[in-house]
Structure 1
Amino acid sequence: MSSTPLFRFGVVADPQYADLEPNLTLNRYPANSLVKLREAIEEFNRHELAFVVTLGDIIDREWKGFDAILPVYETLRHPKHFLLGNHDFAVAPEHLQAVHQRVGMPSAYYDFGHAGYRFIALDGNEISVFAPPEGDPRRDEAKARMKALETSGASNGQRWNAAIGSTQYAWLAAKLRAAKTAGEKVIVMNHYPIFPDDSHNALDSDCMLALLAEHDHVVAYLNGHNHAGNFGVVGGTYFVNFKGMVDTEDSNAFAIVSVHEDRLDVVGFGRETSRRLALS
C-alpha cells in the first residue's frame, strides 16, 4: 500500500456565508462561516495541495455576501476551483447570469486534468426555479420535473434541487468517453447528490446515476447540498456527500483528499468523516 500520494486536494462544502442571525431550527450559523473558512484555509496552507474545491453554496444569499467571503479565499496559497449551489443564486435578478464570473469560474461548468485524473465540475443549477432568469423555459422544465417526481412518490422533487440541461449532459458524456480514451480516472463534482436516495438529490439523479454506471473509470462523485453528509457506493464509484461548513455554532467541517494509486484517503476535519476508499 503506497504511503506517498500522487497528489492531495482540499474540499469545502456549503460555507453559505451571510451576515445573518443564526437559523436555530436548522442549526446554521451563516455569519460564523468566515471564521471557519479562515481556519480551513490555514490548515490547507500547511499542506502541499494541488488545489482546493468548494462544492457550492459559497453564500447564503445577497450579492454583497461575495464581497465578504471571496477575500478570505485570497489567503489560500493553492489554486482554487468553485462550483455553484442553489443559495449562490439567492441574489437580485440582475445578477443571476453573472454569478460564475463573480467567483472567477472559467464557465458555469468545466473540467481540468491533474496527474492522470480528469475532474469534471458540473453546473447542477441549470434546470431550476432559481438560477435561470424569470420567464426562462428552464424554470418550467424544473417545475415539470418536480411535479413528476412528486407524482411518482420520490422525495427529491423539491424547489431547492435542480438538474443539468441536455447540452451539458451531452458534454459530460463526451468528457467521460474522452477520459476513458486518454486512460484517465474521473472524479465528478456537483453541488447536488445523486446517490444514495435522499430528498436533497438532483432532479435528474436517476439518469445521472445511469450515465456514470456505464463508465468504470469514474472513481468518485463528490458533492455538498445535504448538510448532514452522506455516503454510498455503486459499482466502482464512491458517492461522497461532504458536510455543510455552515452548520453548528463553532465546529467546522472540511476535508483533504489524498489520491493514491490504489485508494482515495479522505481526511476529515471537525465534523467531516474520514474514509479510506479502495480503488479497483
Structure 2
Amino acid sequence: MPSAPLFRFGVVADPQYADLEPNLTLNRYPANSLAKLRSAIEEFNRHDIAFVVTLGDIIDREWKSFDAILPVYETLRHRKHFLLGNHDFAIAPEHLDNVPARAGMPSAYYDFGHSGYRFIALDGNEISVFAPPEGDPRRQQAKELMKVLDDAGALNGQRWNGAIGERQFDWFAEKLQEAKAAGEKVVVMNHYPVFPDNGHNALNSERMLSLLAGHDHIVAYLNGHNHAGNFGVSGATYFVNFKGMVDTEDTNAYAIVSVYEDRLEITGFGREVDRTLTLR
C-alpha cells in the first residue's frame, strides 16, 4: 500500500458566519465561526494540501458578513474553492446577483482537474425561493417542485432547499462524460445532499441520483447543508455530508481528505468523523 497520498484537500461546511446572538434552539453560534475558521486554516496551513473547499453557507445572513469572513480565508496558504448555500442569499435583494463574484468565484458552478480527478462544483441554489431575484420564474419553479414533493409525502419539499436548472443539469451530464472519456475519477460537490433520503435533500434529488447512478467513475459526492452530517453508499459512489462548523459553542468541524490510488481517507477534526472510503 503506497504510503504517500496522490494529494490532499481540506473541507469546510457551513461556517455560516454573522455577527448575531446564538440560536440556542438549533445550537448554532454564527459569531463564533470566525475563530473556528481561523483555527481550521491554521491546521490546513500545517499540511501539504492542494486546495480547500467550502461547501456553502459561508455566511448566515447580511451582505456585510462577507466583509468579516472572507479576509479570514486570505490567511490560507492554499488554493480555495467556494460553493454557495441557501444562507449566502439571505441578503438584501439588490445583492442577489453578486454573491458568486463577492466570493471570488469564476461562476456559480464550475469544474477543475487535479491528479487524475475531476472536481465538479454545482450551484444547488439555481431553482429556489431565495437565490433568484424577485419575480424570476425560477422561484415559481421551485414552488412547483416543493408542491410535487409535498403531495408525494416526501421530506425534502422545504423552502430552504434548492435544485439545479436544465442548462446546469446538461452541463453536469456533459462534464461527467468528458471525465469518463479522459479516464478521470469524479468528485461531485454541492451544498445540498441527494442521498440518503433526508429533509435537507435537493428538490430534484431523485433526478440527480439517477444521473449519478449511470456512472461508475463517480467516487464521491460531498455536501453540507444538513449540519448533523450524514453518510450513505449507492452504487460506486460514497455520499458524505460534512457536519456544520457553525454548530455548538466551541467544538469545531472540518476535515482533510487524503486521496490514494485505492481509497479516500477522511480525517475529521472536532465533530467531524474519520472515514476510509475504499474505491470500488
Scaled to the shorter chain, the TM-score interval is over 0.9
Q: Give distance in 2, aligned partners of 1:3 and 1:166.
A: 43
State the partner residue of 1:93. 93
State the partner residue of 2:134. 134
**1:140-155 mapped onto 2 (5 Å cutoff):** 140-155=140-155
Residue 70 (1) aligns with residue 70 (2): yes
TM-fit CA distance, 1:3: 1.7
State the partner residue of 1:184. 184
Contact map agreement 1:12 1:245 (CA 8 A) in 2: yes
Secondary structure in structure 2 of the residue aligned to 1:178: helix
TM-fit CA distance, 1:25: 0.0
State the partner residue of 1:156. 156
Q: Give distance in 2, aligned partners of 1:259 and 1:145.
A: 36
Residue 26 (1) aligns with residue 23 (2): no
Residue 224 (1) aligns with residue 230 (2): no
TM-fit CA distance, 1:181: 0.2
Secondary structure in structure 1 of the residue aligned to 2:52: strand
State the partner residue of 2:256. 256
Contact map agreement 1:2 1:262 (CA 8 A) in 2: no
Residue 13 (1) aligns with residue 4 (2): no
Matched to 2:28, the amino acid is R
TM-fit CA distance, 1:123: 0.3
Q: Give distance in 2, aligned partners of 1:61 and 1:216.
A: 38
Q: Give distance in 2, aligned partners of 1:123 and 1:235.
A: 23
Normalising by structure 2, we get a TM-score of 1.00
Q: Give distance in 2, aligned partners of 1:90 and 1:76.
A: 26
Taking every aligned residue pair, what percent have the same amino acid on both sides?
80
Alignment deviations for residues 217-257 of structure 1 (CA, whole Å, 9 cap, x no partner)? 00000000000000000011000000000000000000000
**1:233-244 mapped onto 2 (5 Å cutoff):** 233-244=233-244
Q: Give distance in 2, aligned partners of 1:250 and 1:152.
A: 40
Matched to 2:29, the amino acid is Y
Secondary structure in structure 2 of the residue aligned to 1:264: strand
Alignment deviations for residues 178-213 of structure 1 (CA, whole Å, 9 cap, x no partner)? 000000000000000000000000000000000000
State the partner residue of 1:39. 39
Secondary structure in structure 2 of the residue aligned to 1:68: helix
State the partner residue of 2:270. 270
State the partner residue of 1:114. 114
Q: Give distance in 1, aligned partners of 2:72 and 2:237.
A: 33
Secondary structure in structure 1 of the residue aligned to 2:20: coil
Q: Give distance in 1, aligned partners of 2:220 and 2:277.
A: 9
Matched to 2:166, the amino acid is S
Alignment deviations for residues 250-279 of structure 1 (CA, whole Å, 9 cap, x no partner)? 000000000000000000000001100000
TM-fit CA distance, 1:165: 0.1
Matched to 2:260, the amino acid is H
Matched to 1:12, the amino acid is V
Q: Give distance in 1, aligned partners of 2:41 and 2:177.
A: 35
Secondary structure in structure 2 of the residue aligned to 1:154: coil
TM-fit CA distance, 1:66: 0.1
Contact map agreement 1:112 1:119 (CA 8 A) in 2: yes
Alignment deviations for residues 21-73 of structure 1 (CA, whole Å, 9 cap, x no partner)? 00000000000000000000000000000000000000000000000000000
Matched to 1:255, the amino acid is A
Secondary structure in structure 2 of the residue aligned to 1:222: strand
Contact map agreement 1:34 1:69 (CA 8 A) in 2: yes
Normalising by structure 1, we get a TM-score of 1.00
Q: Give distance in 1, aligned partners of 2:103 and 2:143.
A: 28
**RMSD across aligned positions (CA):** 0.3
Matched to 1:175, the amino acid is K
Q: Give distance in 2, aligned partners of 1:192 and 1:211.
A: 16
Contact map agreement 1:56 1:83 (CA 8 A) in 2: yes
Contact map agreement 1:127 1:139 (CA 8 A) in 2: yes
Secondary structure in structure 2 of the residue aligned to 1:63: coil
Q: Give distance in 2, aligned partners of 1:274 and 1:73.
A: 24
Q: Give distance in 2, aligned partners of 1:141 and 1:63.
A: 26
Q: Give distance in 1, aligned partners of 2:228 and 2:190.
A: 16
